[in-house]
Structure 1
């Protein structure tokens, strides 16, 4: 078991989607349903200090929903919002809104990540979690979004193996992490199959990330932990957190050896003091650098 340290106060209603930006040496994540992108900078920033240590948290409002944030290869950031995508400048100020992908007010974007070629994959969900209502989209360098998977309920974590040949993906109610064969040249997902199955009593799979050894780190919503599964599917590391609703994780910090973990207090009716805080662990393995969106 690896220990986790609380880095911030419970500054999020629904913290999600952490990503490390090596250009600025800072962590970004989202307070999804408040439409905000948060940044964590050691001893820097203009906002109030929200952490027990030296870090500072700054909040940037982007839209009604901010589901995913990724650095752009050109400049600034790409943010998935309620029904599509927004391009921002380096200060996270919106500069261009792409066309909405749907008009149904009952659907929103939820989670995503960039493939090894810099295409963004991002999936949706229904606010009422209606089965099969969601889809997975791919945003290419031409800023056109293409629908690549249908009949999804809660599109969640997606990440690629170190060599780019495998894509790991979560549709949360399936209680599985699935794996696809992937060709970064053609951007084709094939051969979908279960990688690991998670018992409902252990929580539900949410966001995920991979390390440099090909290990798959999965956040367990309702389970209060992050798990590492070796490339052969064997469970070999567990990180317990004092918050049940663990949402996502990513590697960052010097040499990408810190694992940052987001949590949520959404819908909680009983007191849980750490829910909504950001956590950090040192699991003894390095992560993979983020692939920026190549526009």
Structure 2
């Protein structure tokens, strides 16, 4: 059932640490059925979900544990350790995956062999975070300081030939990155700015013309990961906001998916028809026993389709 509400109120924490049925209200945005929990709390800091037919389904990361997670067709969860941090990943066109690890990139071959590329920096106080692939098959991953020092991060690009470049510097918490269906726009989150930015994009010039797509009030939560559907709608996970929001290509709030934990980190489309929204969550900052479902994987039926994931050409 879809319904509209006006005004604004925040969900209340229950004694058990979950969120009560009183939910935040967002003007005329449609509120979709609440996301369903489909795993136990299998991650401490779940992030970066990606659906790929090459993998036979969904992978995501337990970022600070350095593990890549996988969801089997029967609902079983797999785990593979890839380093101190597993930040983001995308499939490779030839099989395997490209992975953002603590201070650089790693390549997984189709047979599972993992090779870490040379580290991009020596500072142990800075790590990779979120990323994605552009329409030309290049992989981007952004960094942040563990203590979130302002401007300590950057957005890096790994080209198919193995070369790397700094695309943006002076970033604080580099987060979600995804392109519009036609590849002409790129949406990007630096969480500390409390906004989703949009760039113009072409293969020769890269990311240009940065401007604000939407701003998020701090009381609504922090913009984290994002994805883009086949209609060009931008879905943004709100960390500490307990929801995922869909914005139209014009930047208008359109739909809201409520998640029964506050630490909502990222989302992606998956399922055989790419019409299910998979949502990752985190236990970061919680005391043991607080908010028991945090760290679980959630799924929601949202009535639109996503696009096949863009793959790394290297």
TM-score by length of structure 2 reads 0.88
- Cα contact 1:60–1:92 (8 A) shared by 2: no
Give the drift of 1:24. 3.2
Deviation sequence 1:66-124 (CA, Å, 0-9, x none): 00111111121111100001111336441x21110000000000000001111011100
How many correspondences in the alignment? 282
CA RMSD of aligned residues (A): 1.0
Q: Which runs of 5+ in 1 are unaligned?
A: 44-54
Deviation sequence 1:155-194 (CA, Å, 0-9, x none): 00000000000000000010000000111x2151111000
Bigger Rg over Cα: 2
Give the drift of 1:219. 0.2
3-state secondary structure, aligned to 1:33 = helix
| Cα distance in 2 between the residues matched to 1:284 and 1:91 | 36
Deviation sequence 1:230-254 (CA, Å, 0-9, x none): 0011101101111101000000101
State the 4+ residue runs in structure 1 displaced beyond 3 angstroms: 90-93
User: Residue 90 of structure 2 is aligned with which of 70, 85, 90?
Assistant: 70
Asked if 1:126 corresponds to 2:145, the answer is yes
Give the drift of 1:21. 1.2
1:11 matched to which residue of 2? 42
1:188 matched to which residue of 2? 206
- Cα contact 2:141–2:157 (8 A) shared by 1: yes
3-state secondary structure, aligned to 2:150 = coil
- Cα contact 1:169–1:178 (8 A) shared by 2: yes
1:51 matched to which residue of 2? none
1:100 matched to which residue of 2? 119
User: Residue 282 of structure 2 is aligned with which of 260, 264, 274?
Assistant: 264
3-state secondary structure, aligned to 1:213 = coil
1:27 matched to which residue of 2? 58
- Cα contact 1:158–1:208 (8 A) shared by 2: yes
Q: Which runs of 5+ in 2 are unaligned?
A: 1-30
User: Residue 169 of structure 2 is aligned with which of 146, 150, 154?
Assistant: 150
| Cα distance in 2 between the residues matched to 1:285 and 1:15 | 24
| Cα distance in 2 between the residues matched to 1:79 and 1:182 | 23
Deviation sequence 1:257-287 (CA, Å, 0-9, x none): 0100000001112610110000000100000
Give the drift of 1:290. 0.4
- Cα contact 2:54–2:95 (8 A) shared by 1: no
